[in-house]
Amino acid sequence: MLAAFGIFSCSDDDPESGPAPELPAGTTVMMNFETFSAADGRTYSLGHAHRAGTHVASWKNILTMDLAIPVNAFLASDGKKAEYTNGEWVWSYEYNTNSETYQAEIHAVEADTADQAWKMFISQPGNFEGFMWMEGVSSHDLKSGQWTIYDNPENNAPALHIHWKSNGDGEITDMKYVVNKGDFIQYVFTGEEPFSAYYNIEANKQPVTIEWHLEKKNGSIIEPTHYLDDLPRCWSSSFEDIDCG
């Protein structure tokens, strides 16, 4: 799920409305979640890399477990065809999550600003119909936008706010998740050395900064409430603790 999902309209142009707008990529919803573990799944239970991974995993679970239904709905729109109906472009399709079948509709909605607005409705016949589980806006060049994902049909309250910036080709350069109590995780790609990306995380007003190299996998963590100082703790490309040089 962490690959750059390029989501494109596959429909024919409508003679009155023109071509369908391009949906933002799936990467605008699903953050690049690094596991900080070896390819064979090995982790170092007391190591700095493992500790960094636990912080990131707790946020990943929000997307893959708590909000799996709307997140998977948006990812499933990849390659689907839009139809122009009742003055709107609509992507309509079925998808499966956790062995359950759902029906999704993504509507391209006219916005009051220069941005493109989106609304995603999900139904499960017999359980709920047409629940707006996610909405958002994106710039027409697909270089920035935001999403709001709601909790569930029984609790129609915002669960997660997403702010994102992209290079326009689905590669995210800056992305932030914020929950209503103010906790957040921010992913930033810099492409620099020695670390090419970082996370800023705050939970219960306790900050954590994680830096790492996307290809080499070496990195560092700064967590004052755990290590009792503001110094980085580092790991190697094999995820073993090392001195920070």
Is the separation of the CB atoms in 218 and 212 below 8 Å? yes
Give pLDDT tens digits for 177-192: 999 889 999 999 999 9
pLDDT band at 12 (very low <50, low <70, confident <90, very high): very low
Residue 220 above 90 pLDDT? yes
pLDDT of residue 39: 55
Q: Is the dihedral of CA 5, 70, 203, 239 positive or negative?
A: negative
User: Stretch 134-143: mean pLDDT, rounded?
Assistant: 95
pLDDT of residue 16: 60
pLDDT of residue 71: 98
